Amino acid sequence: MSNQTPPAVLPVASDPCWCGSGRKYKRCHKPLEGKILPGVVSPMRTVPAGIAKPPYADTGEVPRTEEARVKSPEVIERMRYACDMAAEILKLAGDFVKPGMTTNDIDVFVHEETVKRGAYPSPLNYHHYPKSVCTSLNEVICHGIPDSTVVNDGDIINLDVTCYVNGVHGDTNATFFVGEVDEESKLLTSVAEECMWKGIEAVVPGRPISDIGKAIETHAKLHRMGVIRAFIGHGIGELFHSDIQVLHYYDSRNNMIMRPGMTFTVEPMISLGTWQHKMWDDDWTAVTADGKRTAQFEHTLLVTDTGVEVLTAKGAVSPSAPWNRG
């Protein structure tokens, strides 16, 4: 797909496309008007030698290892530190976003904020992902790769930040407004945040993990919005992704019992239209199949004896459920 910038005045439908493909505009770039397109990806950034790195950092290959679902108090304490850091950087990154910058500018900011705190940006070279943060604009569901794409007034953008420090990962994300956005996008973002918190409130020891998806899906349907099915929450700790699977829709087969000491993410992706998706050729970027906007929020959680502790809540963009805020 072309990385050229379209002209200020676009051709009429039957004229040759501006990209030089030789095809008519209506059969080439016209269907992509207003859609996010791949930009130019800059070289992978480096991490100072003194910072501890996860096993995949140098090769991009993630070792096949297992991790206990129930974490020890010592691991949990290390996770609290990593999660606090991720929440802090995410909030700073959201404040940093302005119309006219590129998603690569955001990546540079997150990378530098992470390494100056002595941490490794977990996405970097994870299964060969080339950047330090995921930047997902408008109809991009998740895993958008920062590049030369310019962020414009009226866009919404999800930033997904994960820090690796003291041998563990802390993972969180949120959707931010760029300048002034339309009312539909505001509602979408609000419902996505609410869905995350409905899922978090469903975390109860002794209950099946499918309760989380049921709560999320019920709330999304109330607002006639879709829940993306292909991407799910995951176990986390010393591994970036471990084998706990958290569906954001109800499936009775997702019946693992939640136990105190388990750590995992809840991160529903909510769309204005279909739950179906398409993948770009980069094998990372997922977009809605109908091109409609999507929003997402994420926290890392700990199942406790009585309920749940939100490990990424301290100083977070979304520190508590909207209905519990004073």
Q: Please tell me the predicted confidence (pLDDT) of residue 33.
A: 58
Q: Please tell me the predicted confidence (pLDDT) of residue 28.
A: 75
Q: Please tell me the predicted confidence (pLDDT) of residue 1.
A: 36
Which whole number is the average pLDDT over 241-263?
Answer: 97
Q: What is the average pLDDT score of the chain? A: 94
Q: Please tell me the predicted confidence (pLDDT) of residue 29.
A: 64
Report whether 300 contacts 172 (CB < 8 A). Answer: yes
Q: How far apart are CA 290 and CA 265, in angstroms?
A: 27
Q: What is the pTM of this model?
A: 0.91
Q: Does residue 13 surpass a pLDDT of 90?
A: no
Give the CA dihedral 147, 149, 155, 157, nearest 10 degrees: 0
Strand ranges (DSSP E) for 116-254?
120-121, 134-137, 140-142, 156-165, 168-177, 226-227, 233-235, 242-246
In the DSSP assignment, the letter for residue 267 is -
Q: Please tell me the predicted confidence (pLDDT) of residue 34.
A: 64
Q: Does residue 318 surpass a pLDDT of 90?
A: yes
Closest CA to 163 of 104, 220, 106, 78: 78
**Per-residue pLDDT reduced to its tens digit, 255-284:** 999 999 999 999 999 999 999 999 999 999
Closest CA to 124 of 41, 43, 57: 57
The pLDDT-based confidence of 31 (bands split at 50, 70, 90) is low
C-alpha distances (whole Å) from 170 to each of 39, 86, 106, 142, 222 are 28, 6, 19, 18, 31
Copy the structure tokens of residue 295.
């929003």
Which whole number is the average pLDDT over 172-191?
Answer: 98
Q: What is the DSSP track for 187-224?
A: HHHHHHHHHHHHHHHT--TTSBTHHHHHHHHHHHHHTT
Q: Please tell me the predicted confidence (pLDDT) of residue 319.
A: 97
Report whether 304 contacts 274 (CB < 8 A). Answer: no
Q: How far apart are CA 87 and CA 30, in angstroms?
A: 39
In 10 A of CB 71, how many CB atoms? 23
Vertex 157: Cα angle to 8 and 189 (nearest 5): 120
Q: Does residue 10 surpass a pLDDT of 80?
A: no
Q: Please tell me the predicted confidence (pLDDT) of residue 2.
A: 41
Q: Does residue 158 surpass a pLDDT of 60?
A: yes
**Per-residue pLDDT reduced to its tens digit, 54-72:** 999 999 999 999 999 999 9
Q: Please tell me the predicted confidence (pLDDT) of residue 32.
A: 60
Find the helix packing angle between 73-96 and 103-115, rounded to 10°: 140
Which whole number is the average pLDDT over 204-215?
Answer: 98
In 10 A of CB 209, how many CB atoms? 22
Q: In what order do the strands lie in the sheet with 269-271?
A: 226-227, 269-271, 294-296
Higher-confidence position of 11 and 48? 48
C-alpha distances (whole Å) from 319 to each of 91, 133, 160, 202, 309 are 11, 21, 16, 17, 12
Phi/psi at 15 (5° precision): -80, 160
Domains, the chain: 72-324 (3.90.230.10)
**Per-residue pLDDT reduced to its tens digit, 82-132:** 999 999 999 999 999 999 999 999 999 999 999 999 999 999 999 999 999
Find the helix packing angle between 210-222 and 183-201, rounded to 10°: 150
Q: Does residue 178 surpass a pLDDT of 70?
A: yes
Q: Please tell me the predicted confidence (pLDDT) of residue 4.
A: 56
